[in-house]
Chains A and B, each alone.
Chain A
C-alpha cells in the first residue's frame, strides 16, 4: 500500500514551458486535492475533485488545469509556466471531502 504517490519529485522549467504533475492513490479514496506551498506560508488549495468525474477550483486556480483521469489519478497541468509558479506542490486524498486528508511527498518545481 503506497498511499499517495507523486511524480516527478523535482522539476526545472523555463518560463512558458508546460508540464503535468502526476498524482495517484491506492486507498480507494473518492476525493483528491492539489495544493501549493510557498516559503513561510501554509498550503493553499489549487483544485480539488470531490469524486471521480468532478473538479472544482480552490483558492489559487489561475494558471492551472486539472484532470481526474479515474478514481486513482488526479493530474495538475501548467500550460505556460511562470516564475510565480515556483513552489512545492502537494497532492492529497481523502475518503470523502470532510475527512482526514493524506498527503503525497510533494513535487518541487522551479520556473526560471
Chain B
C-alpha cells in the first residue's frame, strides 16, 4: 500500500545545531511537499520539491525520486524552528491524482 515514513519521530536540539529530517515513500511521485506546523497549529508550506534540490535561507531540501526519499536540512537551528515537520507526497497513479499523503511527522524541539 501507499506509505510515507518520516524519521526520526522526535528530535531535540540545542540552538545553533544542524539537523536532517528524512522522508521515505513507497512509489513514484509527481508531488512532494514539506510543511512546518508551528506550536499554534498553523501549517506553513516550506518546499514544493518532487525532485532536485531547493534552498530557502537556513532550510534546504533534496528529493531523490528514483530512490524514493527526500531530506529536509535545517542549519543553525533557532527556537522558532520548533514544531512538527510533515512530508506529504502525491503519487503517479490515475486514481490518486491531486491527493497528498502525509507522513506522521517529525517533532522538533529546539532549546535556547
- Which residues of A are interface residues toward B (Cβ below 8 A)? 31, 33, 35, 40-45, 48, 50, 56, 58-59, 88, 90, 92, 97-103, 105-106
Contacts and interface: CB of A to CB of B under 8 A. Distances in A.
A42 B86 contact: yes
Contacts of B35: 103
13 contacts: A33-B100, A40-B104, A43-B100, A43-B102, A45-B99, A59-B101, A88-B41, A97-B90, A99-B48, A100-B48, A101-B45, A102-B45, A103-B45
For the complex of A and B, 8 pairs with smallest distance between CB atoms:
A97-B98, A42-B102, A103-B43, A100-B48, A43-B102, A98-B31, A42-B104, A50-B98
Contacts of B88: 42-43, 101
Nearest to B44: A103
Interface of B: 4, 30-31, 33, 35, 41-45, 48, 86, 88, 90, 97-105
B41 A106 contact: yes
B30 A98 contact: yes
A100 B100 CA distance: 10
A69 B47 CA distance: 30
A44 B102 contact: yes
A86 B43 CA distance: 19
Given A35-B102, A102-B45, A106-B43, 6 more contacts: A31-B98, A97-B90, A97-B98, A98-B90, A98-B98, A103-B42
A48 B99 contact: yes
